[in-house]
Structure formats: structure tokens, C-alpha cells
Amino acid sequence: MNELPTVNGFIGESAAFRAMLAILARIARYDTTVLITGETGSGKEMAARAIHYQGQRQDRPFIPVNCGALPDHLVENELFGHARGAYTDARESQIGLIAQAEGGTLFLDEVDALTAKAQVSLLRFLQDGQYRRLGSSRTEKADVRIVAACNSDLLESVGQGQFRADLYYRLAAMDLHVPPLRRREHDPVLLARHFIAEAAHQYQRTVQELHPDTVHWLLTYAWPGNVRELQNRIQREFLLCDGPDILVRDLAPDSDRRCQPDRRLGCPTTLNFNEAKQQVLNAFERSQLQRLLAETGGNVSSAARLAGKERRALGKLLKKHGIEPDHFRRS
């Protein structure tokens, strides 16, 4: 089995993941601003770190900040710092995050949460690398790469007047979309096994296996919380599970499975009857093939016998749906 593509902790081998990594590698080569989009928990900060550590600034600081967690009245103070006497409790001058990131990268997560005033200050900095600390009339310069991220449609915020258009286009000089976990084919299983191995090393416990039913569930669950949800669930169940296998009933309570239908089985209402029927059939075939391989540990001959099909016919179906038996083999 080929070594998994991994970049600074970013792990996966699905087509969507590989395509994203290829774009990321190109972006990392150019020292310009980047806007990363993606759902909550999909790995936007991991992508930002990968860009930094593959780029020209890899030996300089990487400073992450969640703009949504900063109180409105402190945003500019945190980013740009303040001069002595700038406000009542400012007894000493203090540098901001931009100065701390000198020569490196400042990662602005939830950049859409910035106040209108902070947006103006950030735009000015992006234009000429200059800024002023709060309460200071002295202009300072900094050499910092800005990588921003958001989980909302920033262009929609621009259209609603909630985010400056000029700042948006400055940030989006290069853009990268991190795909949600439900679009990453076999990656949930690969990531689950990776997180199990990490937990086993951290807590000095025996590596547990994923039960075949769990493998099937991992591949069909919608993962609304993406990679972060998967990591949290695996770590929790790894510590609580007493048996040799992590079971679906441990990882996903019945209430979760009832409330989270597989989004990949849904058919757009724009499809005609035959198109919708074919899409559902394809989804059924894919789901059954994954279940068969999960139950047989990736053994195609055993899966064919279980399905009541010839091995060659099953092999054609696997090829049709791009399913690799190796992904289901247990170590």
C-alpha cells in the first residue's frame, strides 16, 4: 500500500484531499496573502500551518488568532499593540500579534468577525506593511504574511455590507478550499486509525481495531463537525472502550445515527427520474461494497462470496466506484 499523503499532520488520500494538497503546495511557494475557506472542524488551521511550514517563512513564527474570540474593543489592541497611556490601564507599551509574527505568518481565523474599524486597519497594513499602535502617532512597519480563514461565505458578507470588498480582494489574492470530511471518500477510516494510534501512544495503551460495522458507519456518517468531531469521538471512545474493537454503538449513539442521514445519498430535486434513480443505485452499490469489504477485511474473494457474485464481477464494481480493498485491510 502506498504511503499516505501527509503534510505537517494533514493526512488523507481521497481525490478531494489530493487536489487540495496540490493547490496548497503551489500557494506555499508564493509569499502572498491567502484566504482559506471550509466548514467548521475541516482543518483550516492545519492548512494554514502547512502553507507556512512549506513556504519561505518556515523558520519564523506562526501566530494563530481566533478573531471571533476577541472582544470588539480589544481587537485592534491585540493585533497592533498599544502605546503607554493609550487607555486607563495601559501603564506600559505593548507589542501586538503583528509584531510578534515579524518575518513569519499571522493566521487570522474567523476573519469575518473583525469589526469595521479593525478591517480598515488591517487593509492599511496589507497595502503597505505599516500600522500604528493604539494611542501612538508613530508609524511602524512589519514584514508579515497574512493567512485568513472563515467558515462562512465572505462574498455574501461583502454583498450585505458586513465585510469590506477591498479587504476581501486583498485577502483572497490566493484562495484555498478545505473539503468537508463527508466529501473525502475513504479518509474517515484512515484518520480514525491515525487518531487511534496517536491515542495509544499518548496513553500507553494497546492499539484497538475498528469493528467492521464501525468502518462502514465511518464511511456513511455525514460528519457535520468534520475532522475535529472524528478526532474527539475516537479519543473519547478509545479511552472508554474495554474490548478489542471500537464498535458503532460506542462511537455513534442511536440518536446520532437517526438524526444524521448520509448526505451523499440525497438526490438534487433538479434531476429527472432516471437520473435520480441512477444516483440512488450508485450510492447503494457503493455503500454495499464498502460494507462487504469492511466485514471481510478487504478480502475481495470473501466479499464476492458474501455478496453471491463472481469475484470478477465484484472487481468491476469496485473499479467503477473507485473503491480500493487495501483501505479495509486490518493491520
Domain membership of residue 101 as a residue range: 6-179
Same domain for 44 and 158, yes or no, is yes
- Residue 133, pLDDT score: 83
Same domain for 207 and 138, yes or no, is no
Terminal Cα-to-Cα distance of the chain (whole angstroms) = 11
Is the pTM above the cut of 0.75? no
Domain annotation covers residue 151: yes
- Residue 88, pLDDT score: 64
The residue out of 131, 156, 179 marking a domain boundary is 179
Q: Which residues does 311 contact at the CB level (< 8 Å), separation at least 6?
A: 300, 301, 304
Same domain for 292 and 267, yes or no, is yes
The secondary structure of residue 211, as a DSSP letter, is P
* pLDDT band with cut points at 50, 70 and 90 for residue 253: very low
Q: Concatenated DSSP letters for 31-58?
A: -S-EEEE--TTS-HHHHHHHHHHHSTTT
Same domain for 22 and 156, yes or no, is yes
Average pLDDT, stretch 176-196? Answer: 93
User: Higher model confidence: residue 246 or residue 196?
Assistant: 196
User: Higher model confidence: residue 44 or residue 220?
Assistant: 44
* pLDDT band with cut points at 50, 70 and 90 for residue 265: very low
Domain annotation covers residue 1: no
Domain annotation covers residue 239: yes
Number of domains the chain contains: 2
Q: Looking at this protein, which amino acid is placed at residue 26?
A: R
* pLDDT band with cut points at 50, 70 and 90 for residue 217: confident
Mean pLDDT lowest among 31-35, 127-131, 292-296: 292-296
Nine-digit cell string for 299: 478480502
Task: Give me the phi and psi of 30, to 5 degrees please.
Answer: -110, 130
Same domain for 102 and 198, yes or no, is no
Nine-digit cell string for 163: 465585510
Same domain for 249 and 174, yes or no, is no
Same domain for 291 and 236, yes or no, is yes
CB-based burial, 32-62: b 16+ in 10 Å, e otherwise: ebbbbbbbebbbbbbbbbbbbbbbebeebeb
Domain annotation covers residue 287: yes
Domain annotation covers residue 259: yes
Q: Concatenated DSSP letters for 125-187?
A: HHHHSEEE-BT---EEE---EEEEEESS-HHHHHHTTSS-HHHHHHHTTEEEEPPPGGGSTTH
Same domain for 105 and 225, yes or no, is no
User: Higher model confidence: residue 91 or residue 54?
Assistant: 54
Same domain for 140 and 122, yes or no, is yes
- Residue 237, pLDDT score: 83
Same domain for 66 and 147, yes or no, is yes
Beta-strand runs (E) in the chain:
6-7, 10-11, 34-37, 62-66, 81-82, 94-95, 105-109, 130-132, 139-141, 145-150, 174-177, 209-210, 245-246
- Residue 258, pLDDT score: 40
Domain annotation covers residue 13: yes
User: Higher model confidence: residue 243 or residue 16?
Assistant: 16
Count of Cβ atoms closer than 10 Å to residue 112 Cβ: 22
Same domain for 200 and 122, yes or no, is no
The residue out of 179, 194, 209 marking a domain boundary is 179
- Residue 72, pLDDT score: 80
Same domain for 117 and 194, yes or no, is no
Contact yes or no for 147/33 (Cβ under 8 A): yes
Contact yes or no for 214/247 (Cβ under 8 A): yes
Domain with residue 49: its CATH number is 3.40.50.300
The residue out of 135, 150, 179 marking a domain boundary is 179
Listed residue (222, 212, 190, 227) closest to 13, CA to CA: 190
- Residue 251, pLDDT score: 62
- How far apart CA 216 and CA 219 sit, in angstroms, is 5
Is 70 exceeded by the pLDDT of residue 254? no
Domain with residue 260: its CATH number is 1.10.8.60
